[in-house]
Chain A
Amino acid sequence: METIKSDYLDEKLTQVRDMDFLRYRSGDLPTWCPGCGYFGIMDAFYKSCRELELKSENICTVSGIGCSGRTPIFINSYGFHTLHGRSIPVASGLKLAREDLSVFAVAGDGDALGIGGGHLPHVARKNIDITFILFDNSIYGLTKGQSSSTTPYEMKTNSHPVGNPDGPLNPIRLALSYGASFVARGFAGDPGGMKDIIKQGTLHNGFSFIQILTPCVTFDKTNRTWKNLKENVYNLGLDPEENNMENAMRAAENEPFGVGIFFQDKNRLSYHDTLRHLNR
């Protein structure tokens, strides 16, 4: 039997890569645990970039610290792994200095809502045109299983062995209250839905807040598991064109497993457009 030359395989692989969304993947293999929800988020991200036909060199991905912090390594883009909680300020400065770039900021629940919680209201009210993806697994994974800002009340964790005394934050409600002009939720087990949301968020001219519900398969065996999520997640079916804050708020309050776009204000000026408007 004729053996297939590796050169031939390489060439074919390159062709496939160039044609497909995999061109947005870097050569580095993710270091996340097998079964982690983040793999699904990455796939959705690559695919949304593909559909938007973004040029890799014009994509910047900025992260903080935590399992999500490694994200930029696995993306074929200019990546910046910054400090714990600080992906938003760095991404903001980058976008304001370089309007021509597509700037994404990613953070985990501890990163975005705990240590970096002070930055969210301001990037939202300024409406800086970055796409922010919250990898929300409701636990500190990289430090091995401590309670985070979205860990449920009374859940047992390594920092609260008899139960979490703190109530969880509601990220969607916060983003709506802060005045984010695009607020959505995706599920790590639904790459197609996530892809659409990330795509819409990227196209949105202003601050886009995207929460992704994802399990931590290693440090959360009881709460946000694949099983629980798959059984409970459903499509919200809200029409973002309605731009209805009341419905969005009600859904944020009552539909913790609803995914889709909660709210979008297409008329609000982004920070850049506001500056142009004020300086005209």
Chain B
Amino acid sequence: MKDIDLVIEICGSAGEGTISAGEILSRFMSGQGFEIMSFDSYPAEIRGFGKCVAHTRLSSNCIYSPGKLVDVLISLNDGHSISQLSTLKKGGILVYDSAPLKPHGEDKSVLGWAEPGTVTYGVPLTMLANRAAGNSRGRNMVALGAVVALFHMDGQSFTQSIQARYAKKKQVIIDANVNSFLEGFNWTKKHIEKTDSISFDGVIMPAGREKLIINGNQLVVRAALDANLKFYAGYPITPATKIMEILSKELPKNGGTLLQTEDEIAAIGAVIGAGFGGVRAMTATSGPGFALMTEFTGLSVMAEVPAVIINSQRGGPSTGIPTKTEQSDFNAAVLGGTGDCPRIVLAPIDTFSCYQATVLGLYLAEKYQTLVVILLDFFLSNSIRNIDIPVKPSQVFLDSNIAPTKAELENYQRYKVTPNGISPRAIPGTPGGIFFSTGLEHDEFGKPDYSDKGHLKMTQKRFDKHSFVLEEAPAPQISDFTGDMADIGVISWGSSAGAAQEAVMLARKDGIDAVSFSSMILSPFPEKALVAFADKCKKILVPELNYSGQFANFAVHIIKRPVERLNYITGRPMASEDILEKMRQM
């Protein structure tokens, strides 16, 4: 059976149905049994005629990254699509409107800017949409019809995907969309002579398990609800807002409470209040909100109150670039704040692990009575994957507070120093469990204690807890070595990990002896594993989406040798192609 691995982009203006066309295409492909990874980029402004791009990679194999170069560009808007041509592969395919409402000269048409060698198919999108539905709104569907016809996809099933997408709309709208699709499909069959080689003929994917088509934000919510979240406080901020919006519907159904606060300080404050009350609580934010929350993070650690913060990173610093992806809050999450402040930081390496990280985060926060920061980014929050339906966490993960025994409640020491650093925690309402909690340094009863010995003892206790956390976190993903030593070891974290792992696989096919290391837990960091890995690599490469190499700097301190860096702040996700290119130069 032949393999399919295609990157398709639809480019248009806001309001032209670009994003919904991409969504229908992704859902259709998932239904056909392909792996999909898709994301949209759109302007930060609410209104206007900004450029929208729906990017989808579909493959008959496992997908690790969204793909940098595009096989098929579908242009709904010539002006916007011209700049999109730069990522079209050599010999790639361009589908464009051959009879736009206002004809434009060659210098303004996407066709005029296409590289020689590009396979171009002109379809009169506007005209066909008008013919199908009496207006041009269905241009996106006409374009999809053309693509389905061109690549010999299953038109019948595709029609059903369109019907499913608009199922809640009026029949007139469903008909208009389906008819536009068919118009494009039939016209293309009749008038276009195919000159490319992409074809779905004979590609039959095995009927797979039922898939969940979902993005990182949605998965975080699903995980949080599955992991017994009962309180959420938050303040709207791109790209984390959706987490609050979905929870506002779902949390009350699960017996929880959601509070929209006046700012992010109040949000984390309320989360810590709920945590003090013995209830699983979290908040979600992005860079500027995380900066405010930093005020409270020390209290969570000092007073040993569970708190979970999701930080979906965007371009920074300051307000930065709200709608672009970046991995530049590593320092803030892992090292930020004042004092000697151990905290747990998890960074999902792909969409699926957003679920794992959220479940684990809520569990660890409650068990270790500490702060957990989960680093997502704009790409993980918004990119869509089709994944296997996650298995719900077992009971162990749902209630992890270690409560004091009856004997321990006699002369109860809330901050008792124990072998694993965890002091049994009484929940308000427990008779005999009354204690005082403070952000001041304190003794084992919780009473303020400024003595040098006391400060050292309690600081050690807070750090000691951390050494046990690593045992409960997933081990780093390390690819197999072919020999004793590898030429290049690629160390990655967060959403860049997929691209790094894919680049290593591609490099091996190219004869480069490469291996990869990626860890979902960043604090405490699996230092021993990293040192052992680095010792077996001649050269080390650290690709990440920030300018200063925040994680590379961190890794250098652990492995005590220089590393090669690959840094991008383009606002686009990490591309395996770029990492591979860098490896070739090393």
- A binding-site residues for B, Cβ under 8 Å: 26, 28, 55-58, 60, 62, 72-73, 76-83, 86, 88-98, 100-101, 118-119, 121-122, 275, 279
Cα separation A243 to B140 with both chains bound (whole Å): 60
Closest to B438 in A: A81
A78 touches B435 (CB 8 A): yes
User: Any chain A CB within 8 A of the CB of B562?
Assistant: no
Residues of A within 8 A of B395 (CB): none
Cα separation A8 to B434 with both chains bound (whole Å): 26
Known contacts A73-B448, A82-B439, A279-B252, then 9 further A-B pairs from the complex at CB < 8 Å, ordered by chain A residue: A28-B447, A57-B428, A80-B438, A89-B267, A89-B269, A89-B270, A93-B259, A93-B269, A119-B266
User: Any chain A CB within 8 A of the CB of B231?
Assistant: yes
**B265-306 vs A: 1/0 string, CB under 8 Å?**
111011111111111010000000000000110010001000
Residues of B within 8 A of A92 (CB): 259, 266, 269-270, 273
A26, A98, A118, A119: the one within 8 Å of B428 (CB): A98
Least Cβ distance of B428 to chain A in Å?
A: 4
Cα separation A279 to B436 with both chains bound (whole Å): 36
From known contacts A56-B434, A275-B257, infer whether A93 and B439 are also in contact, taking CB-CB under 8 Å.
no
Residues of B within 8 A of A82 (CB): 269, 272, 299, 303, 439
A55, A57, A97: the one within 8 Å of B277 (CB): A97
Least Cβ distance of B519 to chain A in Å?
A: 32
Cα separation A101 to B278 with both chains bound (whole Å): 12
Residues of B within 8 A of A81 (CB): 436-440
**B297-337 vs A: 1/0 string, CB under 8 Å?**
00100010000000000000000000000000000000000
Least Cβ distance of A79 to chain B in Å?
A: 4
Closest to B256 in A: A97
Residues of B within 8 A of A73 (CB): 436, 438, 447-448
A86 touches B296 (CB 8 A): yes
A28, A76, A79, A86: the one within 8 Å of B269 (CB): A86
Cα separation A80 to B274 with both chains bound (whole Å): 12
Cα separation A80 to B436 with both chains bound (whole Å): 6
Least Cβ distance of A17 to chain B in Å?
A: 15
Residues of A within 8 A of B267 (CB): 89
Closest to A101 in B: B428
Closest to B233 in A: A93
Cα separation A172 to B434 with both chains bound (whole Å): 33
Interface residue total, chain B, C-beta cutoff 8 A: 43
Cα separation A56 to B385 with both chains bound (whole Å): 51
A94 touches B273 (CB 8 A): yes
Cα separation A28 to B436 with both chains bound (whole Å): 11
From known contacts A57-B433, A77-B434, A86-B296, infer whether A98 and B279 are also in contact, taking CB-CB under 8 Å.
yes
Cα separation A100 to B265 with both chains bound (whole Å): 25
Cα separation A91 to B448 with both chains bound (whole Å): 21
B231 touches A97 (CB 8 A): yes
Interface of B is mostly: mixed
Residues of B within 8 A of A78 (CB): 276, 428, 433-435, 437
User: Any chain A CB within 8 A of the CB of B430?
Assistant: yes
Q: Can you give 22 contacting A-B residue pairs, CB < 8 Å?
A: A57-B429, A57-B432, A57-B433, A62-B273, A72-B436, A79-B437, A80-B276, A80-B437, A80-B438, A89-B261, A89-B265, A93-B273, A93-B275, A94-B277, A96-B257, A96-B273, A96-B274, A97-B230, A97-B274, A98-B274, A100-B429, A101-B429
B262, B435, B439: the one within 8 Å of A122 (CB): B262
Least Cβ distance of A206 to chain B in Å?
A: 16
B273 touches A90 (CB 8 A): yes
Least Cβ distance of A109 to chain B in Å?
A: 19
Least Cβ distance of B340 to chain A in Å?
A: 18
Nearest 4 CB-CB pairings of A with B: A93-B273, A93-B270, A89-B269, A97-B274
Residues of A within 8 A of B437 (CB): 78-81
Cα separation A224 to B407 with both chains bound (whole Å): 49
Cα separation A56 to B432 with both chains bound (whole Å): 9
Interface residues of B in 407-464 (CB under 8 A from A): 428-440, 447-448
Closest to B267 in A: A89
User: Any chain A CB within 8 A of the CB of B263?
Assistant: yes
Residues of B within 8 A of A90 (CB): 269-270, 272-273, 276
From known contacts A82-B439, A122-B266, A279-B252, infer whether A93 and B434 are also in contact, taking CB-CB under 8 Å.
no
From known contacts A94-B274, A101-B277, A101-B429, infer whether A89 and B266 are also in contact, taking CB-CB under 8 Å.
yes
Closest to B283 in A: A93
Residues of A within 8 A of B447 (CB): 28, 73
Residues of A within 8 A of B261 (CB): 89, 122
Residues of A within 8 A of B295 (CB): 83, 86
Pick from A81, A90, A121 the residue with the most CB of B within 10 Å: A90
Cα separation A77 to B432 with both chains bound (whole Å): 10
Residues of B within 8 A of A77 (CB): 434
B262 touches A93 (CB 8 A): no
B270 touches A96 (CB 8 A): yes
Cα separation A26 to B447 with both chains bound (whole Å): 12
Residues of B within 8 A of A88 (CB): 266, 269
Cα separation A89 to B271 with both chains bound (whole Å): 9
Residues of B within 8 A of A100 (CB): 429
A119 touches B274 (CB 8 A): no
A93 touches B274 (CB 8 A): yes
Interface residues of B in 5-58 (CB under 8 A from A): none
Cα separation A279 to B278 with both chains bound (whole Å): 24
Residues of B within 8 A of A83 (CB): 269, 295-296, 299, 439
Cα separation A110 to B263 with both chains bound (whole Å): 19
Closest to A70 in B: B448
B262 touches A119 (CB 8 A): yes
Interface residues of B in 488-528 (CB under 8 A from A): none
A93 touches B436 (CB 8 A): no
Least Cβ distance of A130 to chain B in Å?
A: 10
Cα separation A62 to B271 with both chains bound (whole Å): 14
Cα separation A26 to B445 with both chains bound (whole Å): 13
Residues of B within 8 A of A62 (CB): 273
Cα separation A60 to B233 with both chains bound (whole Å): 20
Least Cβ distance of B180 to chain A in Å?
A: 41
Residues of A within 8 A of B274 (CB): 93-94, 96-98
A97 touches B273 (CB 8 A): yes
From known contacts A81-B440, A82-B299, infer whether A97 and B252 are also in contact, taking CB-CB under 8 Å.
no
B262 touches A58 (CB 8 A): no
Residues of B within 8 A of A119 (CB): 262, 266
Residues of B within 8 A of A121 (CB): 262
Cα separation A220 to B276 with both chains bound (whole Å): 36
Residues of B within 8 A of A96 (CB): 231, 257, 259, 270, 273-274
Residues of B within 8 A of A275 (CB): 252, 257
From known contacts A96-B231, A101-B428, infer whether A57 and B434 are also in contact, taking CB-CB under 8 Å.
yes
B278 touches A93 (CB 8 A): no
Closest to B253 in A: A279
